């Protein structure tokens, strides 16, 4: 197993730590501003529209102007709200989203004002668990926002978000377990070092796919944006928020998108290491160049978020919960057992080779099993006896039985008259 060298951390002077913290915050804030403009532009192109094109060259300053507009809007507090909790909820949402980025490696050790320092604020032996713990706190802001608003629909949105995080964070944590087994460490810098020869996206493809689905559900993005479902909840947990308080919720959502994208880059795409064939160039993984590779990989995941929003419709809530509990968690548990058995039975080098064979095999079995499962469900539906409720074609969602009214001669006469007319 690769050794985790944490000796390079903890030696920076206080001003360098402060400078790196400001740099991370600036990176997140600028990425959010750019991501909002890019999302609106890409969605417009996919839907054959123009998108923002008035503010700045080709509309590139649109998100900045939107932020200023939100800041100048009137802020109000509902009469029935718990004022202290109502004001604290946006802060609880945005602060953990920023804190989670502290252990994300953005590059190797570089020279900064004469000091050799890694492009990472800090690291620890359980850094990935720290990210899980910190991001889990953010859901409290959503739940408290829904409860403190004193309104029914925000409360329902907050409860949906809590159930969503509980179910999909289990699948996300289980997808990490296979990475820990292969890397032999929970340190983010150690996991990046373990992918020097081969990225885990190829060795642990089932874990990667589970994480992709779980990270979309974790961030409440389409097609899993059920806590903000406008058709049912009028906007969800932040319906009663305006001005900067609403802007903080939007900031937290986009920073969470960046964080889960950076975590996917770190765990499965080699972190800041350059992709092939750039990795064959001497010096591609040295100096400040790795920061460019890291940013490019993060933006690839951000584009995936935008693509999903433009492509897929919102799921029904029972379908969404069934996906997490009935498919993602069992698949993750099965794959962890496969990786653990291979890793225990074979040596370190042999386990990587066997896992690279087992990973596409399990994916192929899962793809072939989906049509069989659908046919078996349809057969059970046909053979089931009639009950008070009929089962719909979309799953197990109960639909009231619609009984046809008896037809009379008057119906037939009226129908004939309509046809003649």
Domain ranges across the chain: 16-271+285-381
pLDDT at 368 over 60: no
Angle, vertex CA 158, rays to CA 152 and CA 160, nearest 5: 105
Say what the pLDDT of residue 377 is: 62
Say what the pLDDT of residue 227 is: 77
Say if residues 238 and 174 touch (Cβ distance below 8 Å). no
Say what the pLDDT of residue 312 is: 87
Average pLDDT over residues 250-262: 93
pLDDT above 70 as % of the chain: 81
Say what the pLDDT of residue 369 is: 58
CA distance 210 to 215: 9
140 band by pLDDT with thresholds 50, 70 and 90: confident
Low-confidence winner among 71-85, 195-209, 211-225, 344-358 (lowest mean pLDDT): 344-358
Say what the pLDDT of residue 363 is: 61
DSSP 384: S
10 band by pLDDT with thresholds 50, 70 and 90: confident
CA 118 to each of CA 259, 386, 410: distance values in angstroms, whole numbers, following the listed order: 19, 66, 85
pTM: 0.82
345 band by pLDDT with thresholds 50, 70 and 90: confident
Report the run of H or E that residue 74 belongs to, with start and end: none
At a CB cut-off of 8 Å and minimum separation 6, what does 7 contact?
none
Average pLDDT over residues 168-176: 90
Say what the pLDDT of residue 95 is: 92
Say what the pLDDT of residue 389 is: 46
Say if residues 156 and 239 touch (Cβ distance below 8 Å). no
Q: Where are the alpha helices (DSSP H) in 184-269?
A: 188-194, 200-203, 205-218, 230-233, 243-268
Say what the pLDDT of residue 58 is: 86
46 band by pLDDT with thresholds 50, 70 and 90: very high
CA 281 to each of CA 111, 265, 334, 409: distance values in angstroms, whole numbers, following the listed order: 21, 21, 39, 85
CA distance 154 to 350: 52
Average pLDDT, the chain: 82
Average pLDDT over residues 100-127: 91
Say what the pLDDT of residue 15 is: 92
Average pLDDT over residues 16-26: 94
381 band by pLDDT with thresholds 50, 70 and 90: low
pLDDT at 98 over 60: yes
Low-confidence winner among 50-59, 127-136, 169-178, 361-370 (lowest mean pLDDT): 361-370
Say what the pLDDT of residue 156 is: 85
Low-confidence winner among 49-53, 177-181, 346-350, 403-407 (lowest mean pLDDT): 403-407
355 band by pLDDT with thresholds 50, 70 and 90: low
Dihedral sign, Cα of residue 84, residue 26, residue 109, residue 215: positive
pLDDT above 90 as % of the chain: 33
Say what the pLDDT of residue 187 is: 93
Say what the pLDDT of residue 279 is: 80
């Amino acid at each position: 197993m690769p050794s985790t060298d944490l000796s390079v951390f903890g030696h920076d002077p206080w001003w360098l730590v402060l400078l790196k913290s400001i740099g991370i915050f600036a990176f997140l804030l600028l990425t959010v501003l750019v991501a909002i403009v890019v999302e609106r532009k890409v969605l417009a192109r996919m839907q054959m529209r123009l998108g923002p094109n008035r503010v700045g060259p080709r509309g590139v300053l649109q998100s900045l102007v939107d932020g200023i507009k939100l800041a100048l809007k009137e802020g109000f507090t509902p009469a029935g709200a718990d004022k202290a909790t109502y004001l604290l909820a946006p802060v609880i949402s945005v602060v953990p989203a920023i804190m989670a980025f502290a252990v994300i490696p953005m590059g190797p050790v570089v020279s900064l004002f004469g000091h050799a320092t890694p492009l990472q604020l800090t690291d620890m032996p359980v850094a990935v668990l720290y990210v899980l713990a910190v991001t889990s706190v953010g859901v409290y802001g959503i739940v408290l926002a829904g409860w403190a608003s004193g309104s029914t629909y925000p409360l329902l949105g907050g409860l949906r978000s809590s159930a969503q995080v509980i179910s999909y964070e289990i699948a996300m944590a289980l997808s990490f377990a296979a990475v820990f087994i292969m890397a032999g460490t929970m340190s983010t810098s150690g996991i990046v070092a373990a992918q020097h020869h081969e990225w885990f996206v190829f060795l642990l493809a089932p874990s990667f796919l589970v994480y992709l689905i779980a990270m979309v559900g974790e961030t409440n993005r389409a097609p899993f944006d059920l806590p903000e479902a406008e058709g049912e909840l009028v906007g969800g947990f932040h319906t009663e928020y305006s001005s900067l308080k609403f802007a903080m919720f939007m900031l937290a959502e986009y920073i969470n998108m960046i964080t889960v994208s950076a975590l996917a880059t770190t765990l499965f795409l080699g972190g800041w290491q350059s992709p092939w064939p750039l990795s064959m160039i001497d010096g591609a993984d040295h100096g400040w160049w790795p920061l460019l590779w890291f940013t490019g990989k993060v933006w690839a995941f951000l584009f995936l978020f935008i693509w999903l929003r433009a492509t897929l419709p919102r799921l029904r809530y029972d379908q969404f919960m069934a996906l997490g509990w009935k498919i993602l968690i069992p698949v993750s548990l099965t794959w962890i057992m496969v990786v653990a058995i291979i890793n225990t039975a074979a040596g370190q080098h042999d386990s990587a080779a066997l896992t690279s064979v087992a990973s596409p095999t399990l994916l192929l079995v899962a793809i072939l099993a989906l049509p069989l499962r659908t046919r078996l469900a349809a057969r059970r539906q046909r053979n089931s006896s009639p009950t008070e409720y009929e089962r719909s074609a979309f799953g197990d969602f109960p639909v009231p039985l619609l009984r046809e009214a008896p037809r009379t001669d008057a119906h037939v006469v009226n129908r004939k008259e309509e046809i003649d007319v």
